[in-house]
Structure 1
């Protein structure tokens, strides 16, 4: 019987449609038994017996794939795939799919919510009140801020459009490919990364993790930012150097930071000790509608491959 290993969790919890599809197509499945992000060693131990991997952001390395003797397809439940050794997968003729449009709305929602919280310091007020401290904070309205979007792909541009809708007057977009026309977006213009870093009140990151973007923001860039700037990263951990960020925040530079992603996850690092650092557990895509859509689309790719049909969203690996 065809077998699929589902490593991303939760899966099929809020809507069992994806699991029903597997059952209806005679695909046996195992859901991550560890109830947390699976470790490389655990995945290597389990993967040898499966034809399909329905994956999250766990490390799918050469070491893991060496043991994947039967694996035919990795179906990513999400948009990023920097956790997969693409070259080695290609050498073993393992196909990889992803869901490029899946998390757009959910990630944009959380990004804007985090910006609001940072600008009004609601996260700090909440922490202090829980500790018995009554302290009122003066904040800023997002409409009066200059917002910089670093990475203006589908998600980044969606954030920019939502900000424009609510009246944000100045939005700077920074991307290697300035392919989107801004003719109908009077609040937006293209800018280089230095202008975004030095002039924006709010800076939001929407980048893949690559050799070029890893540690893109270190102590130097953080200190170039306005003293009262706020930063949001809902894209990939590793883009902002976490040790440098801690050092800069300890010096009282920056009004606030929100991170939904980290270099190593789960994260239990020292940024937890800084009140004005708002931390969430990689939850940007965690809405019922978003997760259900991505789960179903990933399963459909497995079914397509199992039936010998063309894949819808295959990642080019060579």
Structure 2
């Protein structure tokens, strides 16, 4: 059993934390919480997390690996508060076996990610990255592009982020197709929105944007087969998880102009240093779609509030749904 002090100690592995808005740190200080921020200044590896976590009862985590090995190395751990939406980096089953509660902040990053997605679409359509590169090299070349109003956008995944993308695209008058493994309650009324199957979305969309969680069902959801169904002028945007796209297949498709371009904010291995960086028709960013000041603050404050709820014996607000545990069981072949 943890001692009183060890059970209440908080390790914050997500960095930067409180750098752009110190409200989360001030809230911890106000409540006299004993916390330590990851001293590495970057996302820790599994082994580094194992070394850091040994004497802590609460983990406020970002995207760093919280594996079974990490959990086994944390005898006092009783709460994992995820600042963000993705859960693929946390071994939920190992946490459950140890009686460790897990929370997350699924709605906090949505506005920032949705805006970022639309920004990527505009950048690709109007060739903004290429024009910037040309002018920095002293080349004056006017790029001719396409308008969002004239495009059909296909959304694979229409959850909290996908719904906001639909909302933002309404202002452009864009036709939107939606596909999801589980259709949500989004209304098609006056939205230029239509539910379709995966194949129809791939064949008819000018831009495809991915908003799926990384699960057994969605790993390598986009491979050479799906890329081959897309229009040669089509664009692909991914701000969800890197493992949803086969990066080798995407490289081949972009290099051979089977599709026109892509914008990727997430990768199978991060930081990314792979061959896609060699391609001018691939816009790459460093997993920053959710990193607006307000949404980062909302994620951090949401996670801190769950820490305070836990420490004061109040109900946790956003515990991970049972479906997420069931999905990991399916992935591990337990069911």
What is the TM-score normalised by the length of structure 2? 0.92
1:298-309 superposed matches below 5 A: 298-309=303-314
The match for 1:58 is 64
Q: Match of 2:265? A: 260
Q: Is the 8 A contact 1:8 1:57 kept in 2?
A: yes
Alignment of structure 1 residues 7-18 onto 2, 5 Å: 7-18=13-24
Partners of 1:298 and 1:186 lie apart in 2 by 34
Aligned to 2:282: 277
SS of residue paired to 2:202 = helix
Does 2:160 align with 1:154?
yes
* 2:292 alignment counterpart: 287
Q: Is the 8 A contact 2:114 2:164 kept in 1?
A: yes
Aligned to 1:189: 194
- C-alpha deviation, 1:134, in angstroms: 2.9
1:237 and 2:242 equivalent? yes
Q: State whether structure 2 residue 78 is matched by structure 1 residue 78.
A: no
The runs of 5 or more residues in structure 2 that have no matched partner are 327-335
Distance, in Å, in 2 between the alignment partners of 1:181 and 1:22 is 38
Distance in 1 (alpha carbons) for counterparts of 2:130 and 2:186: 38
1:127–1:275 Cα contact (<8 Å) kept: no
Give the distance between the partners of 1:179 and 1:269, measured in 2 at CA.
35
Aligned to 2:109: 103
Show the 5 A alignment for 1:123-162.
123-162=129-168
2:125 equivalent in structure 1: 119
Deviation at 1:186, TM superposition (A): 4.1
* Deviation (angstroms), 1:165: 2.2
State the partner residue of 1:67: 73
Question: Is the CA contact 1:213–1:239 (under 8 Å) kept in the aligned structure 2?
Answer: yes
Residues 159, 184 of structure 2: 8 Å contact kept: no
Distance, in Å, in 1 between the alignment partners of 2:130 and 2:151 is: 20
Residue 221 (1) aligns with residue 205 (2): no
Offset at residue 60 of structure 1 (A): 0.7
Q: Name the SS for the 2:34 alignment partner.
A: strand
Alpha carbons 1:65, 1:88 under 8 Å: kept = yes
| Correspondence for 2:31 among 25, 35, 41 | 25
> 2: CA distance between counterparts of 1:166 and 1:119?
13
The CA deviation string for residues 197-255 of structure 1, in whole angstroms up to 9 with x for no partner, is 11110100000000110100011111211101011111111101111111111112222
What secondary structure does 2:113 align onto?
A: helix
Structure 1 stretches of 4+ moved >3 Å: none
Name the structure 1 match of 2:333. Answer: none
In the TM superposition, residue 154 of structure 1 has moved relative to its aligned partner by 1.0
How far is the alpha carbon of 1:56 from its aligned partner?
A: 0.5
Unpaired stretches in structure 1, ≥5 consecutive residues = none
* Distance of 2:186 and 2:60 partners within structure 1: 36
Structure 1 length-normalised TM: 0.97
